[in-house]
Amino acid sequence: MKILYYDCFSGISGDMHLGALVDLGVELEYLQKELAKLPLEGEYELSATTVSKSGIRATQVKVKLREHHHHDHHHDHHHDHRTFGNIRAMILSSALSLRIKERALKMFQKIAEAESRIHAKPLEQVAFHEVGAIDSIIDIVGSAIGLEALGVEKIYASRIELGGGFVRCAHGLLPVPAPATLEILQGLPIGLHGVPFEATTPTGAAILACNVDSFSGSLPLSPQKIGYGAGEREGVDIPNILRLILADEPVQPSPKEVLLETNIDDMSPEHLAYAVERLFEAGALDVYMTPITTKKNRLATKLSILSLLDKERELTQILFQETSSIGLRRLEVEKIALARRFIQVPTPWGEVSVKLSMQGEKVVRYKAEYEECRRLAMTHSVPLHTLYLAIDKAVESCLNDTNH
Cβ of 121: how many Cβ atoms within 10 Å? 15
Q: CA 311, CA 297: separation in Å to the nearest integer?
A: 34
Three-state secondary-structure class, residue 248: strand
**Which residues are CB-neighbours of 231 under 8 A, at least 6 positions away?**
10, 11, 13, 15, 16, 240, 241, 242
293 bridge partner residues: 299
pLDDT (0 to 100) of residue 25: 94
pLDDT (0 to 100) of residue 253: 62
Residues of the chain under the 70 pLDDT cut: 68-81, 129-132, 217, 235, 250-254, 402-404
Residue type for position 332: E
Q: What angle do CA 239, 203, 91 make, to 5 degrees?
A: 140
Q: What is the gyration radius of the CA atoms in the chain, in angstroms?
A: 29
Three-state secondary-structure class, residue 203: helix
Q: What is the DSSP secondary-structure string of 347-399? A: ETTEEEEEEEEEETTEEEEEEE-HHHHHHHHHHHT--HHHHHHHHHHHHHHHH
Q: CA 106, CA 12: separation in Å to the nearest integer?
A: 18
Q: Is the dihedral of CA 216, 222, 225, 230 positive or negative?
A: positive
pLDDT (0 to 100) of residue 252: 63
pLDDT (0 to 100) of residue 77: 45
pLDDT (0 to 100) of residue 82: 86
pLDDT in tens, 97-153: 999 999 999 999 999 999 999 989 998 888 876 545 888 999 999 999 999 999 998
Q: CA 23, CA 229: separation in Å to the nearest integer?
A: 7
Q: CA 258, CA 284: separation in Å to the nearest integer?
A: 10
259 touches 306 (CB < 8 A):
yes
pLDDT (0 to 100) of residue 403: 61
Q: CA 131, CA 167: separation in Å to the nearest integer?
A: 13
pLDDT in tens, 341-379: 888 888 999 889 999 998 877 888 999 999 999 999 999
Q: CA 138, CA 28: separation in Å to the nearest integer?
A: 13
Three-state secondary-structure class, residue 313: helix
Q: What angle do CA 16, 22, 27 make, to 5 degrees?
A: 150
Q: What is the pTM of this model?
A: 0.63
- The dihedrals phi and psi of 289, each to the nearest 5 degrees, come to -120, 140
Q: Is the dihedral of CA 210, 213, 217, 221 positive or negative?
A: negative
Three-state secondary-structure class, residue 47: strand
pLDDT (0 to 100) of residue 4: 95
31 touches 96 (CB < 8 A):
no
Q: Is the dihedral of CA 138, 141, 147, 151 positive or negative?
A: negative
347 bridge partner residues: 350
Three-state SS string over 100-151 comes to HHHHHHHHHHHHHHHHHHHHCCCHHHCEECCCCHHHHHHHHHHHHHHHHHHC
